[in-house]
Every structure is written in C-alpha cells, then in structure tokens.
Chain A
C-alpha cells in the first residue's frame, strides 16, 4: 500500500533563516501522525508546503503516491494555523463555500458536521460574532465536511477550553478508529501521546526523529524504585549494576536499562537481601515529554 504522504528532502528558507532543512518522512495509511516541535521549529511551514500554500525551495512531496495535484487537496480536510472564514457570513454560508470549492459532501453534511462540533445552535450567526473556541470548532467542522479519509490539523485544540480539548481529543481518537489518516501538528505533547500512533520531532527546521511512537519512545526501560532511605538505596543499587545509568529524584530513583532487560523481580530480591524494603517498584515507559526535551534541549 502506498504511503498517504511522502516528503522527500523538503527545505525552505526565509532569507538567512532556515525554516526547514531537508525534511523527509512518510505517513502510512491509517496513522495518526503527530508533528512535534517547539515554537518556530517549522511545523506550520511544513504543513503549508504540503497544502500548497508555500513553495518549497528544494525537495518534493506527494500525496497518495502521486505528484502534487489539485484534486489531492480536495480529498483532504485541513485546518492550517488559524480558522479562515468570511467574517460577514454565517457558519452555514461559510461551509457552503468550503463545500463548493472542495466538492466534499452535500448540503446535509453541513448540518451533520455542525452537530459534531457543537455549533448547530449558532449556525446562522455571523462568523465575526464567534468566540475563539467556536471559530476553531468551525474550522474543524469544515475539515470534516464530506467525511474525508485524510485530515490535516495544525494545533487543533488552540483556543478551546478544557472540555473542548477533551472533546476534540475524543473526536480524533474516534476518527482514527474509523481508519482515517490524521496528520497533526502540536506542541501539546500530552495530546499527541494520547492519540498518535506515529510521531516526527522537528527542531529549528531539522527532523530529529520520525517513526511509530513505540519505536521513538521505547529505546530504554525505566524502572522507578523508592525506599524509606533513598540515599542508602542508591549506595546499594549502584553495587548491583546491570543498568546503563541511574538518576536520583527527590522521591525516587530511576534506573535505565536497554529495552527488554529490566527484571523487576531480581531488583526486588537484591534489595530485600541487602536489607532494604522497597516502597515503590515500577517499570515505566519513557514519556513523550521526556523524550521531547531530551531531543530538543541544546
């Protein structure tokens, strides 16, 4: 099966500033693909290029295994950077324009998506009268028109309240469960970790890593242990060995093992034999946040 999106060596400069530097990766069909990076890392620039709003200086991309074509974009529901609508028109009239340009869906779809994003009651109000969160919901609704198989979301939870954020997260999860491919840029790591199957991390326009979330994160096993006296525990555990490094935190110690080599039972047994009773013993996966900071910190 062709990847949904293939990006090959895409670079973009603004004068002396390098916004993207030879970025390449593939988005497989059915993936929820998170593009992560700090502000100014090139996430939106990358999405703008694949949606033909910006021209790449070098490199290329292809949707659905084809070279860029207009009709490709019509099959993709997109929210890029900000909700862009005609201020003097209502939600319904704005979606009629989206529908007419993209050819996605029919008139009954407009009511359907407004229902999904909870704007039915205000569907006849002018866009200019909407709150930031409502504008964002409308943009998500526009992307959902015609139930496209591929969705591109740039910071989809921008401007939403906590309930709204949770709703959009659930919506993305249910869209992913129905087999849609979702490409999502975000700097909310928790969001991405909760919904994404794949991830790419950008920093100053350079791609640091890309792949399935499990592969990107699971390079080490982390075991967290704690006892009533963590200093004594540290001295003891250092004699045990077998791990690649140990980190002391205020309430616990973290032992780092190569993937698949941590054995909780033997750690527990060793400590018990040395007269230390563990209060905490837990195998933890590295959080995306930890990995992100590890990669992006200078």
Chain B
C-alpha cells in the first residue's frame, strides 16, 4: 500500500496543475472567508443593530463556531480540487499510462487503489488547508480562547468526508468519460447549474411531493452534512426551527454520503477489473 502511495507521489509531485490547484485553494479559502467576515462585520457594526446582531449571531469566526463557518464557506470551492482530480484520472487515459501501469506489473486492483489514494491525498490536503484557515481566521477575527478550540472540531471530519464524497463523483465522471475537457464541462454544468436548479425546484415542490427529495441529489447528499451557519439567515422566519431540522438530518446525510461514495468506488473497482484497457 505504501509503495502505491510513493508511486502516486512520483506522478503528482511534478505535475504543474497540482501545485497550481494548491496555490489557488490557498488563496481562495482565506479570501472567501474574509469576504463573509466583512459581511458579518458590516451587519454587526451598523448603528442600532450592532449589539442586537452580535447577541443573536455571536462571532461565527471565533472558536468553536469557526470550524462550522469556515467549513461551510470553503465547501463552495470544491470545484478547484475537482478539476485536479478529473485531470489526474483523464491524464492516465490521454497518456495511455493506465495500460502501461498494468503492463509494467500492477494488477487492475492496484491501479484503482492508486487512484483512490489520489483522491484521498487531494481530499486530505484540502482538509488540511481548511483546518489551517479555520484556525488562522479565528485567531485573526476573535480573542483567542484555547479552551474552546476543539469543541466543534468534528467539522474537520465532516469537511473531509464531504470533500472526499464530492471528489469521488468528479473522479467517476473523469473515469467514465476519459476526455478531460468533456468531463470538466459536464462536471461544471451539472455542479453549478443542473443540481442547483433541481435542488431549488424540489424545495419549492417539497410540500406537493411529500418531502424535500432534493437532499438525495449526488452533491446535495454531502452538501447537507454541513448546514448553512445560523448567521447566514438562509432559513427565513422560522430560522431556529429550520436550522435545527437541518441539523437533525445531518446523521442521515452522513450515512447516505458514505453509501454513495462506497458505491462509486465499488463500481469503479468492478469496472476496471472487467473491462479491456
């Protein structure tokens, strides 16, 4: 297993897109969170509303809420590591190295395990960056309180699972479509447009069709593991009730995400064992 990891590192470490992605993520996560932090500052410093808002919202960028807030905001940018994952798998087809790796002695199972490791590596790096941004931001935006640092740190696990689940979908697309640009096009179109419209539509129709089935859409399944923080006010009048309902659905969403991700990888391993390369 360790040798597979070493070999994947040989492939990745001199791949320019890998370092480009890392730099972009490194810039994007703090920038996006800074933007939301400024919104929060504006709300809480407006005359007349500042004290009330502060009382209601608390500081979402202070420990322990920062784990939740930064996870939610950063998860919007899953698109960046997704592009890298799609490139990593389609490269193997473009260069025909998926054949060469087998010819040189890997089993088909070893090849797929190495790709699983790629996705795990990218997910881990993304999660580490998120963790650093959450800690850094909290230190920057609030009075540091060491006693509360780890209170909601389970969001690190949730963020990792969400990233891994969504990157697995990106991998599946790249694996099936094989051509980088087509796979990227379909991924972006579905992720940015189709699923957002479908989610919104299904939310409106929820009452009619007996429940919000939008939560079962591929990306939405894992998106709803990290619900929108209360301060973002996406829950309308019944803020407290809706927020708590979303939180209560999190365990189900976690199980569904695990099931979907396992199914994706089981399918990829099966396909790779059966098909001609």
Contact = CB atoms under 8 A, between A and B. Distances in A.
Interface string A87-123: 1110001001110111100000000000000000000
Contacts of B209: none
B103 A71 contact: no
A19 B14 CA distance: 39
Interface string A216-250: 00000000000000000000000000000000000
A53 B106 CA distance: 11
Contacts of A70: 105-107, 110
Interface residues of A, number: 28
Contact of A53 (B11, B105, B107, B276): B276
Interface stretch (A74-82, A270-278, A285-293): A74-82
Residue from B10, B95, B100, B106 having most chain A Cβ neighbours under 10 A: B100
Interface in B82-105: 91, 95-97, 99-105
Given A80-B99, A86-B11, A87-B95, A100 B276 contact: no
A55 B11 contact: no
Contact of B102 (A52, A88, A96, A142): A52
Nearest to A73: B105
Contacts of B6: 100
Contacts of B106: 70, 101
Interface string B1-28: 0010011001100111000000000000
Given A84-B95, A86-B95, A88-B16, A100 B103 contact: no
A87 B110 CA distance: 22
Contacts of B274: 55
A102 B103 CA distance: 9
A142 B103 CA distance: 11
B19 to A, nearest CB: 11
A54 interface: yes
B10 A93 contact: yes
B100 A84 contact: yes
Interface size class of chain B, counting residues whose CB lies under 8 Å from the partner chain: 20 to 34
Contacts of A87: 95
A51 B102 contact: yes
A70 to B, nearest CB: 5
A218 to B, nearest CB: 35
Nearest to B274: A55
B97 A85 contact: yes
A141 to B, nearest CB: 13
Contact of A88 (B14, B100, B101, B276): B14
Given A70-B105, A97-B7, A85 B277 contact: no
B112 to A, nearest CB: 14
Nearest to B7: A100
Nearest to B15: A88
A102 B100 CA distance: 11
B101 A101 contact: yes
A125 B29 CA distance: 35
A23 B116 CA distance: 37
Contact of A85 (B7, B14, B16, B100): B100
A155 to B, nearest CB: 15
A51 B103 contact: yes
A73 B111 CA distance: 14
A82 B3 CA distance: 26
A82 to B, nearest CB: 6
A97 B14 CA distance: 12
Contacts of A54: 276-277
B23 to A, nearest CB: 17
Contacts of B102: 51-53, 73
A55 B272 CA distance: 12
Contacts of B11: 86, 89, 97
Nearest to B110: A70
B101 A82 contact: no
Name the 4 nearest CB pairs between A and B, nearest first: A74-B105, A84-B100, A84-B96, A101-B104
Interface of B: 3, 6-7, 10-11, 14-16, 91, 95-97, 99-108, 110, 274, 276-277
6 contacts: A51-B103, A74-B105, A86-B11, A86-B91, A89-B11, A142-B104
Interface of A: 48, 51-55, 70-71, 73-74, 78, 80, 82, 84-89, 93, 96-98, 100-103, 142
